[in-house]
Structure 1
Amino acid sequence: MGEVKHILLAKFKDGISQQQIDDLIKGYANLVNLIEPMKSFQWGKDVSIENLHQGFTHVFESTFETTEAIAAYISHPNHVEFATDFLGHLDKVLVIDYKPTSVDP
């Protein structure tokens, strides 16, 4: 069955301070402590040399055991409250859920 990854690519609106961004990221990271189906959280900033980021600057990755767990996370009151605030600070957003697959050589 395997785990499911929830990837969110974001570009924050112009004029958002670094402190606001830091606070939003801390709030996002804290969801793993508040929402049981969310198993882990990682994030990072774009460092690609290919310049194919299409304006996205941040990547957020959450891990879940099933797609049903993602549905429970999305509808959880703590996520709904956070997402309303978080999304209001974004200029661009893209979300993809996928199941990691290995390719045997």
Structure 2
Amino acid sequence: MAENAMVVKHLLLSKFKDDVTPEAVENLIKGYANLISLVPSMKAFHWGTDVSVENLHQGFTHVFETTFESVDGIAEYLAHPAHVEFANIFLPALEKVLIVDYKPTSVN
């Protein structure tokens, strides 16, 4: 997908609860990634773990980035039954969560 002014990024920063096993975390991440095949408004999905040397992560360990073509696409995603079902499993496994939606801007 070409980056343009219409693209909207949905960032979710999280820390899983200490009692969530690594295997459960892996399964939850797979479930999150699978949403792209179920929710038409999701255009791209990436995730990773904190590797910052600045140590300013405030306890957040994982970053999930989803790309949509519009803010309306995020609204469709949030209301989609597959997302609602997944969120009911995913969110209780989190100790901390922060979500930011933004439109990327290039500086020329």
TM-score after normalising by structure 1: 0.97
Shift of 1:34: 0.2
Structure 2 residue 56 is the aligned partner of structure 1 residue 52:
yes
CA distance in 2, matches of 1:69, 1:16: 31
Shift of 1:35: 0.3
Q: Which position in structure 2 is the counterpart of 1:65?
A: 69
**Alignment RMSD (CA, Å):** 0.6
Percent identity for Structure 1 against Structure 2: 62
Q: Which 5+ residue runs of structure 1 have no aligned equivalent? A: none
The secondary structure found in structure 2 opposite 1:88 is helix
CA distance in 1, matches of 2:73, 2:19: 35
Q: Aligned residues, how many?
A: 104
- Superposed structure 1 runs of 4+ greater than 3 Å apart: none
Structure 2 residue 90 is the aligned partner of structure 1 residue 86:
yes
TM-score after normalising by structure 2: 0.95
Shift of 1:18: 0.4
CA distance in 1, matches of 2:100, 2:39: 19
